[in-house]
A and B are shown apart, each in its own frame.
Chain A
């Protein structure tokens, strides 16, 4: 491994793939949020004919002309898609499919032509289909460095404009911002980040290079600036991993491994990201189900006692007064007994002192919510969303009108009071 890293060729490839990863990650964030993931795919496919035409004109595989050619046809493809959508009844996905296949088809035809005529299949343009990072040379990387610096600097300087145009273009226009210019600039930057990645990753997989880091980053944050930076980091890391994994194994393609790396990072985030990951979501859902189940059983029992004046429920009673059943009910009962809210017996069900108090609070809060909903306009000033709909945490003066309504509707929870009076 260290030997490999000492090899200047590998070093260049490494720098190149990391730069590509970073720029496509950063610009990919905007593409994703503008819902233009598919557009990225069309762009990269539409670049192929440009590469071929540039090669035919220049006659050699020099990076700068190829990239310019790629950029031009990718831009034309993108423009055509937007024009189709704007001026005809064709929907975006159809327009993208159309442009993508037509341009890619033309590209393949040109490529075949070049391969026939070039000196014995030596053009090396085929690598643009699936990418060949190992073919990167120092002058290519120099070009990438310049492009990356330019793209990242513009993103940094115009960050707030790029943000508002991505979030709400009409509003930006209303503010008098030069939206046509900024939009064109952003499209150009996305095209640029796509075409400079083509050599390493290839037209087929380039869209994944653009989108995977961005989706990954979005799992970890709720802020655009953090997302853009993270996405760049994920892209760069994927470039690093893909190159390092593929380098020691001969015949291992770097481009696809870069994509595999970024997709692995995506799957890890999908499952393990805090807040948005599937695992966290599953745990949160389970907790919510438990606490609502607990509350339903408690309130059901409380209202039974309220209605019947009996303080012990049989299993049949319990089934009747609340919506849970089967295993879930048994687990809930066990939990309530463990929390010392129910007496620990298995035939009949009875609140402990602590339990009846808790049930009273639950029932009271639920009924206050009911009153609140009935008279929403009157209570609109209450900060209920802020305090998680906990009416009992309100100051007394705010609770009073709700209490009066409860009394008026004869809904004030009565069990606890009667017990206190009994004593």
Chain B
């Protein structure tokens, strides 16, 4: 059974279709990149799978069951800009939020929860910042806190929205390490990604999306000039570079 399978998802905001008839079956234990131009609907695709935006039509299942029944095994790392980082809380506390679902209503996190949250912070190299107020963290560190929070959820399928955007080298390294670890534990990770140059290095599978699904499959099969052209059209900056003799896809 596939970790994620979708059937003809369509989402529209104010009648404007943002994604149309997207169907795919994500294989287990793979790092899967989702790429496409700005406004292609990448974030919307993830949010519709997670039930955060209403779908006009389509079905989604996580390991064969509807998402609503599988929330515990689905982790989400939103775009960093989606929260107010001036919120009065520290890094450890944000990571602990990943456990709120397991802890249950009315109960407070105990020592063991805190210990586990600390271990998640350590996995992203942030244990020294546990007590740092979150506005005092750099952008990359904030991103790592978000990743640690998703780890604390202990999910089987992860969705991450542009985790590499605006991060420093240390964070990029930490994220890649983390993705590899997750994969080796048999987890499936879907990552919205911006940087076409690194797609081949980072992802086993890739989806090319521009309102519709252009292609989906193992990276070496579908990440082709042809498909990229179909996805990005004339907007693809580095296809131009190719005519200058630089071909990052080669």
- A positions within 8 Å CB-CB of B: 33, 35, 157-161, 163-164, 166-168, 170-177, 218, 221-224, 226-227, 376-377, 380-381, 383, 385-386
CA distance A177 to B68 in the complex (A): 11
Which residues of chain B come closer than 8 Å to A175, judged between CB atoms? 71, 97-98, 100-101, 153
Q: Of B71, B97, B109, B153, which one neighbours A168 at CB under 8 angstroms?
A: B97
- Within 8 Å CB of A160, what residues of B? 100, 103, 108-109
Partner of A223, one of B51, B90, B109: B90
Q: Which of B82-126 contact A (CB under 8 A)?
A: 82-84, 87-90, 93-94, 97-98, 100-101, 103, 105-106, 108-109
* Listed stretches B4-12, B20-28, B34-42, B167-175; interface member: B167-175
Q: Are A171 and B106 in contact (CB under 8 A)?
A: no
Docked Cα-Cα span, A170 to B74, in Å, equals: 13
Question: In the complex, what distance in Å separates the CA atom of A223 from the CA atom of B93?
Answer: 9
Complexed CA–CA distance, A176 and B106 (Å): 15
Interface pairs (13), CB distance under 8 Å: A35-B84, A160-B100, A166-B87, A168-B97, A170-B82, A173-B52, A174-B71, A218-B88, A222-B89, A222-B133, A224-B87, A383-B128, A386-B128
Instruction: Flag if B106 contacts A157 (CB, 8 Å).
Output: yes
How does the 8 Å CB contact mask read for B150-177 relative to A, with 1 for contact and 0 for none? 0001000000000000001110111000
A226, B90: Cα distance in complex, Å: 13
Complex contact B52–A177 (CB within 8 A): no
Cα A170 to Cα B71 in complex, Å, equals 13
Q: B138, A385: Cβ atoms under 8 Å?
A: yes
Known: A157-B106, A224-B89, A380-B170. A176 touches B72 (CB 8 A): yes
What's the least CB distance linking B130 to chain A, in Å? Answer: 12
Asked whether, in the complex, the Cβ of A164 is within 8 Å of the Cβ of B52, the reply is no
Give the distance in Å from the alpha carbon of A223 to the alpha carbon of B51 in the complex. Answer: 31
Q: How far, in Å, is B196 (CB) from chain A's closest CB? A: 19
**CB closest chain-A residue, reference B51:** A173
List B contacts of A168 (CB < 8 A).
Answer: 78, 82-83, 97
Tell which of A158, A171, A376 touches B169, judged by Cβ atoms closer than 8 Å.
Answer: A376
CB distance from B49 to the nearest CB of A (A): 10
How far, in angstroms, from A35 to B101 measured CA to CA in the complex?
Answer: 25
Task: Tell me whether B239 is interfacial, beta carbon within 8 Å.
Answer: no
Q: Residue B76 at the A interface, CB < 8 A? A: yes
Which A residue's beta carbon lies closest to that of B97?
A164
CB distance B52 to A380 under 8 Å?
A: no
